[in-house]
Structure 1
Amino acid sequence: MAIGGERVAGAASTVEDMNTVPSGEIIEKAVQLAGRAPSLHNSQPWLWVFDGATLQLFAVRERSLPNTDSSGRQLIIGCGIALGHLRAALAAAGWRAEADRFPDPNRHDHLATVRFAEAQIVTDADRDRADAIRRRHTDRLPFAAPANWDRFEVVLRSIIDPAFAMISVLSEDSRPDLARASRLTADLRRYDSGYQAELHWWTGHVVGSTGIPASALTAAAEQEKVPVGRRMPAPAAAARHTEETADHSVVVALSTDTDGVEDVLRCGEALSTVLLESTVAGYATCPLTHLTEYDRSRAIIRELIGGTAQPQVLARIGAAPADRAAPEPTPRLPLSEILRRQ
């Protein structure tokens, strides 16, 4: 009887688990959408493992860029963005996702374990944010000023949990200092052969569905219009877009109390929200990671935001001209390379 009772209990538990875990199809679609997250040079340094009850997120160190991202913070931020995108995709499918971050102190590459609960309702906001994942892309061209920014800023601040990141909107007066930090980074990197090798390996062509294709790069004249942007290899072709003579984007900085890996992962999740909500609002976006790669340029950003917080990442937000054609989507790794089943 005891054995029989255990079998019945086990069967009941199995049925209950089936009711509290998304189907395999939902998991696959959510992971595929999460794979649209931006990452350093489109390196896509994440791997998801589904064990039938939880979804686990791992960092793939083989896709790191050690010369560009010597601290590993950008790898963690990219994985955090993917985690934020995953939660947005699941919410639109009717599931809430709770993440237990760094659950195994002996496995530093195990970033999170995600558990599920059925949502009571799927809101229009849930659907809009998931749809924004498909539309969002990194736009390195200059932007016009974002319309109705004051109203949007209030909304943005209300949905960014301060426990995940502190958001600072940098004033127009800060632009010369931001440009100075960007130039300083470029000057320091100019003779860094390891950095230059990584930059040219990952940009201008596609390497196994990773990297930035040439079609996503901007000409030298276009880069000059965005003095806060990373200096990238420029195509030989002339500038393709001349509608904006200067960049008038709003620049926001996301900061954390510490550089601890959990703080950095949460910051990536917050950046996911910033990028997707900006896309929902009709704005164009471009993450800026180079400004925090070097201690000296990072110190300039820290001074601009004030206080003792650690700046992790910045982003430009603005309006792209209505007739600016969206570039071809950058390549993404196939599902088989970012999702495994146990």
Structure 2
Amino acid sequence: MDAKVPTEQVIRDAVTLACRAPSLHNSQPWRWVADGTRLHLWADPRHAMHATDHTGRELILSCGAVLDHLRVAMAAAGWDSVTERFPTEGRPDHLASVGFLPVANVTPQCRLRADAILRRSTDRLPLGAPPAWPTLHSALSRAVTPYDVTLDVVDDDERPRLAEASRLTEQLRRSDTSYLTELRWWTSPFEADADHVPETALLSSSEAARVDIARAFPPAGGGRRRASIEVDHSKIVVLSTHGDAPAEVLRCGEALSAVLLECTLAGLATCTLTHMTELSLSRDIIRQITGSTGQPQLLIRVGRSPSKDPLAKPTARRPVTEVLEMRG
């Protein structure tokens, strides 16, 4: 293979790492095709959640996150990425085409960022307040700038209002049988499946009661982990775009990846929330709280998990052979 083109093994390793990206209920709604010179990202409708994600917006957000993770993984392997979004007219499922250029030196920061992919996980338990927040807030704002995404932080005074909107969202969902059936299916304990949300990643009723802003999942077990944190003290970050065009949503998913990795590098835990942006009523409330004129796409809880907490078992992913096709 041409030295100016990554080898198949480099591509395979990078895609494997990139697929650690978060996705709605760990659905992993993506597939990759390598044609010998470029790597193509396609949406995989077989992993869409039509009851939860009516418009397919969250599917695109998930794919945006895996796209940015891919660039981080390739940078650590010594390759710069050149991304073309929605390259095929009339094929909205062809989300991106990525070309690569070799770099002479890989910086330590590139390697640290790739390592952060492996350390990041979704933490639904109550979190402590993040230290040195003003400094991190500035770093997060810089991280989303290349994607034309707005980052807002919910004021502590507005948190009760946001928590009420979260509860309202869940109340409205209780009468949606299609949504509830889909949620139960994606959280059922299928040990052999490499998608779904594992039971270990869900909360017991007593644990969930200490987190005021969260999606209501079926309760798991009767434990009381992290009992030292009686109330969630995370900061709530909102990512918004000007509109809901697919290209804007894809970029927001990329920005999500950048924010999560920045938080992980800072030693903090995160939990991405999309339940309130799935319904127009709660989405409007978020917009009022932030004072933004854009479209809220997702929220992120950012906080500190106790250092004595055992390391979370990595959530399973589909094998790379299921998500990557090598051609040429």
Structure 1 runs of 4+ with >4 Å offset? none
Question: Do 1:81 and 1:270's aligned partners in 2 also have CA atoms closer than 8 Å?
Answer: yes
Is 1:262 the equivalent of 2:242?
A: no
| Correspondence list, 1:1-342, <5 A | 18-161=2-145, 163-206=147-190, 208-342=193-327
Aligned to 2:41, the other structure's residue is in SS state strand
Question: Do 1:204 and 1:217's aligned partners in 2 also have CA atoms closer than 8 Å?
Answer: no
Question: Do 1:50 and 1:341's aligned partners in 2 also have CA atoms closer than 8 Å?
Answer: yes
Give me the identity figure in percent. 47
Distance in 2 of aligned mates of 1:29 and 1:163: 26
CA 31–148 in structure 1, closer or farther in 2 if over 3 Å, else same:
same
TM-score between the two structures when normalised by the length of structure 2? 0.97
Distance in 2 of aligned mates of 1:163 and 1:155: 14
Q: How many residues are paired up? A: 326
Root-mean-square deviation (Å):
1.2
Tell which deviates more after alignment, 86-95 or 321-330: 321-330
Question: Do 2:130 and 2:302's aligned partners in 1 also have CA atoms closer than 8 Å?
Answer: yes
Distance in 1 of aligned mates of 2:146 and 2:39: 25
1:8 alignment partner in structure 2: none
Deviation, 1:235, is 1.5
AA at the equivalent of 2:185: W
Q: Which 5+ residue runs of structure 2 have no aligned equivalent? A: none
Distance in 1 of aligned mates of 2:143 and 2:184: 37
Distance in 2 of aligned mates of 1:162 and 1:175: 28
Distance in 1 of aligned mates of 2:220 and 2:136: 35
TM-score between the two structures when normalised by the length of structure 1? 0.93
Question: Do 1:204 and 1:233's aligned partners in 2 also have CA atoms closer than 8 Å?
Answer: no
Larger Rg: 1
Distance in 1 of aligned mates of 2:319 and 2:300: 27
C-alpha deviations, 1:72-125, integer Å up to 9, x for none? 111000000000100111111111111100011211110000011112432221
AA at the equivalent of 1:155: A
CA 160–120 in structure 1, closer or farther in 2 if over 3 Å, else same:
farther
AA at the equivalent of 2:100: F
Distance in 2 of aligned mates of 1:149 and 1:240: 25
Deviation, 1:210, is 0.5
